[in-house]
Structure formats: C-alpha cells, structure tokens
Structure 1
C-alpha cells in the first residue's frame, strides 16, 4: 500500500491481496469550484460519497445533481463525467474496487445511492484516508462488503446452485484475464476446487470445457484486433494471451479457416472469413 497527498486531499493505493473483493484505491478531496474529471473510463468499480457541497454526475447521457449525503456509482468500462458546483463545490471521499463475485442487483442497477449504511461506511472510510494506516486493505475490503451486504438484505432471495456460481465467477475471471495467460489449473486453484471437479462444473453450466472457453475468448479478441488495425501477428498473439506465435497461428487458422495475416488482409478487402463453427 502507498499513500499520497496534496493540499486538497489524500489517497491510498492498495496491493492485490484479496481475490473476491480487491480494494483498488480510496481517498478524499476538497474540490475547487467547477473542478471536473472526465469524460473517462475505468476498469473497476468506483464510488464517490459527497461529504459536503454539491455537483453534477453524468453517465449514459443522463445528468444527476448530487448533493451531500449521496454517493454516485461508476461501473467498470462506462464513460462518466463529474464536476463540482461553482458556488458550493463538493468534498467527497471515494473508494474503488475490483470483484470477481456477482454484485447485488439493487446496487448495480443504481447510478446514485444513499442511506444510513452508505453514510456510515464512508464515515468510517474518511478518517482512514485522512490519517492513513498501515495495511488498510482488510479494513477497506470489510467496508466494501458491509456496503454491498446492505443491498443484499433488500434483494429477493435467488436460488443459485453453488456449481452455477463457480461457473459464473470463472467466466468473469476468464473474460477479464484471458490476455494474461490464465490457465484452467489456475482458475481451479483460485476457486479452491479440484481441477477435474471444476472442469466438470464449468462444462455443465457453460456448455463447453473451460479450456475451450479460454481459447474462444482469446481467438475472438485476436480477430477483433486484426480487424481494427494493422498490428504485427506477434503483438496480436501476446495481446490475446498467447506466448507462442506459431501455436497461436495454428489455432487461429483452425478456428477461422485462414491465417491471422490472411484474416487481416481479407478484412481490408471486405471478405473476412466467417470461421468454423
């Protein structure tokens, strides 16, 4: 963990220690009038709680006027913009996190949240950011769980089999980390499952073995890269999670019926191969 600060605020940056909920960063800031951020896109969840003042938050073309006691929610990979008010600029405290577990529907479906639990959680976070502490990861992870749990209490109970949950989490991990060379053995280990049992569960709920799903994700990503730019095959292979260019080219041709270079050329000529099914 690292801590940094300036004359208007301070922040904490976390290490990657928790697999289910991983705090990414947290901090507080007193913003000057009309201070803004964005438009921007992030790869993680980010929550801003307004301690005082007011401002605007814009996402998906909608503008929300945010005031003291409210928290605006930024989802991964959505474009957002926010700006402090000219006369009553806000002070906020924020926390960002990554997660591999399904989140409560009542949380994910809202752009702005509020309530006693929200105020309480960020009230506990604020002194952590202001004063700093050694190894705050666990404390902040606990606050994130506390916040998410408050939304679970109002959810209608859903019957989800444990095997289905494992498959959902594994799919999420593959979709986020296929480019990092993730393996079936690693997935099973991260879910604390026997490799054979994990593979059987994944195939049952997803319909194909996990290794095939990983390959499909990587090859689809490679095809997309080849269709949007004139990138070297070696770069496309690495960016898609392959360390061996020859193996990548062989698998790509098996899937799409043409070499990566041939696929790229066919895109340019307007006659891309559809691939095998």
Structure 2
C-alpha cells in the first residue's frame, strides 16, 4: 500500500516505445483526506477520472472542484496541483501518456490545455477501460505486446471521452464536411488500398449508399477522373514502379489486379504507349 493512500494499485510499461501514443503507467487510488500533489510539472500527459468523492484541481487560471464522473488532464509542462477533499476524499483512476499524436487525439476528444476538464456519465465504462489498461502490464515475457495492448485500451478511453464531450466539438453544418465528400474520400481510400483486388465500382457505390451514376459524377468533380479511370491510373502507376524491380511481367500484372498478363500488357501499352517489356528494357538500358 502507498503510505499516502488507503488503496493504491498501478501498472508500469517497461518498453513505452510507440512513437504516436504510448501508455507509461496506469493506476487507481483512494488517497487520505487532504492528500496533495504539486505544485509541479510533468513531461507527459496525465489523466485522472474521479470515481467517487471530491477533490480540487488547479492548473493555470483553472481551479475547479471535481466529483464523480469528472476527468482532469494535465499537459506536459503545465504547472498543476490537485488535492483530495478533507472530509470526502476522492477515489480516482489515472493514466499517463506520451507520444507525437497524443495532443491531437485529445483535441479530437475536445480536450485542450485551455479546456482540460470534462464530465462523463458512463463512469463504469471508463473504469473498465482504465482497469484493462493497468492489467495489460502483467509482466509477461512479452512486454512489447503488453505495451501494444495498453495503447489500444488508451485509444478506446479517449474515444469514450470524446463521446462524453460532444457539446464542445464542432457540430455546425458549415464546419462539417458534406456527407458526399466523406464518401468520396472513402472511395478514394478504398481504391488506393484495394487496387490489386477485383474491384467493382457498383460494389463501392452500394457499400457507400449511393447510385453508381451519382457517385461517379461526384468522384469526377473531385478528382477529374471517373472511379474506373482513377482505378486504372492507380494500377498503371503502381505497375510502372514494380517494373523497376525484379518481378516478372506476370507477377507485376497480378500485383496490380490483372489476372491475365496479356490483357495487362495491352492496357499498359494503351495507357503509356509502350508495352511493359519494352518499358523495362528501356529502364535497364538507361541504367
């Protein structure tokens, strides 16, 4: 037991080397009445959620009493202090984060240096995520897998914070992308990642909830190409890059979504004005 707490439990990450988001440690505690931390600064992000009781959080010009369901976030370099109530000391859970993406992920959830507090009604859900994060560090023979698991739970925790903080997130129509724009983004991403598959434009349109003609019109307005033309361009550009390597023409064709190497060669020649074999020969001759 920590000598300043009725109850104290923590888990620590021995290899927090994820660059975008890593959990340093996570814990739970029931401090004694009047227990105080700070004034101090940290070089990591420290998040507390109050499960019961009360306490005071101070950071910069912010001073607020926190109760059940309240969460306060301490940012790196920010001078802070927090103290348990003298008569009804809080019971809280915490998680410490570091990484290049943490500030952006917190901002996506509506949490910033200027707005480091939020209230959530789903305390049981948050408690479970904190506990799962802490229990990730069971000192198994695979600490990097533990770290990976913990960062996954941490992302879910930030997701829950965002759902509890919707009132401060941008919601006005002019600040939100049009639905068709979002669907076009998804279609572009789909083609960019799945060009090697037998993609059906009809299937993309149906999945995104649009008639093929409507999707194709919006797609062309955005990219200057129809979905079919965009797919062909993606395949041909990828094929050019692969022809610089050691794959056979058949293997290049298969890698960019053509089951028939002869048909691939015909399409390549039609697109670039030269068959893939001659393109490769020219590359080697130049080199």
Q: What TM-score results when the alignment is normalised by the length of structure 2?
A: 0.50
Contact 1:180 1:241 in 2 (8 A): yes
Aligned to 1:21: none
Once the two structures are superposed, what CA deviation does each residue of 1:119-161 show, in whole Å capped at 9, x if it has no partner? Answer: 9887543445649xxxxxxx99976754556589444852533
Among 24, 33, 48, the alignment partner of 2:22 is 48
| Unpaired segments ≥5 residues, structure 1 | 1-28, 40-45, 54-64, 72-90, 95-102, 109-113, 132-138, 272-277
Once the two structures are superposed, what CA deviation does each residue of 1:169-220 show, in whole Å capped at 9, x if it has no partner? Answer: 2112111221233221221122122222222222232221101101111111
Once the two structures are superposed, what CA deviation does each residue of 1:60-93 show, in whole Å capped at 9, x if it has no partner? Answer: xxxxx5454489xxxxxxxxxxxxxxxxxxx979
In structure 2, the CA distance between the partners of 1:194 and 1:146, relative to structure 1 (3 Å rule), is farther
Alpha-carbon distance in structure 2 between the residues aligned to 1:165 and 1:238: 30
- Root-mean-square deviation over aligned CA pairs: 4.7
Asked if 1:238 corresponds to 2:238, the answer is no
Higher CA-based Rg: 2
Displacement after TM superposition at 1:239 (Å): 1.6
Contact 1:49 1:92 in 2 (8 A): yes
- Within 5 A, what are the aligned runs for 1:163-182? 163-182=180-199
- DSSP-derived class of the 1:180 partner: coil
In structure 2, the CA distance between the partners of 1:66 and 1:205, relative to structure 1 (3 Å rule), is same
Displacement after TM superposition at 1:242 (Å): 2.0
Asked if 1:186 corresponds to 2:203, the answer is yes
Contact 1:93 1:126 in 2 (8 A): no
Aligned to 2:265: 249
Contact 2:219 2:226 in 1 (8 A): yes
- Within 5 A, what are the aligned runs for 1:107-256? 107=108, 124-128=128-132, 130=135, 145-146=159-160, 150=165, 153-155=168-170, 157-158=174-175, 160-227=177-244, 229-256=245-272
In structure 2, the CA distance between the partners of 1:211 and 1:243, relative to structure 1 (3 Å rule), is same
